[in-house]
Amino acid sequence: MIQISDLTFDYTGHRALNQLNLQVERGSVTALVGANGAGKTTLMRCIAGLETPLAGSITVAGLDVQEQPRTVHRQMGYLSDFFGLYQELTVAQCLEYAAASQGLAKDAIADAISTTAARLSLSDRLGQKASSLSRGLRQRVAIGQAIIHAPQVLLLDEPASGLDPEARNELAILFRQLQASGMTLLVSSHILAELEAYSSHMLVLRDGKILEHRALHQGLASKALQLRLASPNDKLIEILSAHPAINLSKADTLHAEFDFNGNSAEQARLLAELIQAGLAITSFGEQNLQQAYLRSIEGGKS
């Protein structure tokens, strides 16, 4: 859905994106993670056609962003990290303006407003002014403006910042619904636990380069697992290293992280084998996004 080739973007005295090559699958939700200044926002703005790169090309749904930015915009929704709303307009007016300015036909606008409002649980807020809404509701209105024209691609820069846990959960449910409807999402956030709830892929950026881009739930392919023992055991590393399906990445006498080649049944058998080998396991399972991210970063540093 999104194809990026040799993308380079410079700010004065600083290379923000360095020869990025990337392919984002249709219908995926890609978590875009990285430290501050890694290039996440610049990458999103380049994909959105809001910034002109130094070199390289970006195509969205087969359209070149630099050659046909306006056509690409019709296929795309974008929520910037510092989004704004027209404070003195009601929620309905905000959505109507977004729909009309995205070129929706006059007779389709009312339907689009009610569908979007229902999707974002804003139906009972349509008459309220944007200035009177809470942070979470404002965020929803901004997302509503970005999706009202049913784009194929949705770019969201820090969509959950400042939201309470309940609002974040609602956002995760919404993103899963959007993915289920066929939309491709690229979401950047510092809150990795939140991204984990709905992301299918992880893209790690560091100093303008791609450190890792992979699917998070890969079925039969390699899984990143971790285990923790009740008390230190000197044999932990030895036992794990001896297993043919395990590729150990980090371990000490109490805790281990490793890649495991096998399906869920084989994973269950592995657990049984490890317990049988005398390991007092207190936790065993797939690494969360936070651990996967830190592992990528550490791998990148080494």
Partner 1 sequence: MNPEFKRNLWLNFSLHRLIGMPAILGLIFLAVAMNGQANHVGSSAAMLFVGIVWLWGTKNAAAAIGDEQRDHTWDQQRMSALSPWAMTWGKLLGATLFNWYGGAICILVLLISDLAKDPINTLLKALSLIAMSLLLHGAALVMNLQLGQSDFAQNRRGSFNLLLAIPALFFMPSVFELSETPITWWDISFMPLQFQLLAGSFFAVCSIFAAWRLMQNALQVRTQPWAWPIFACLLTAFLAGFNHENLPMLGLIISSSMTYATLFSEPNSITIWQRIQQRIQAKNWHGALINLPLWPTTLILSFAFSLLATGAAPSELSSITTAPLSIALMLLRDSAVCVFLAFGPKRGVANSLLYLALINGLLPFLAHSSDLPSVAYLIMPINHPSSIASILISAIHALMAIALAFWRWQALQSAQR
Q: Residues interacting with partner 1, by CB under 8 A? A: 10-13, 15, 48-50, 52, 54-55, 69-70, 73-74, 76, 78, 80, 82-89, 93, 97-98, 100-103, 145
- What's the min distance (Å) between Cβ of 14 and partner 1? 9
CB-nearer residue toward partner 1: 70 or 219: 70
CA-closest candidate to residue 4, choices 16, 21, 19:
21
- What's the min distance (Å) between Cβ of 108 and partner 1? 13
CB-nearer residue toward partner 1: 133 or 270: 133
d(CA 79, CA 49): 13
CB-nearer residue toward partner 1: 56 or 262: 56
- What's the min distance (Å) between Cβ of 296 and partner 1? 26
CB-nearer residue toward partner 1: 87 or 283: 87
- What's the min distance (Å) between Cβ of 86 and partner 1? 6
CB-nearer residue toward partner 1: 13 or 244: 13
CA-closest candidate to residue 199, choices 289, 112, 299, 280:
289
- What's the min distance (Å) between Cβ of 135 and partner 1? 14
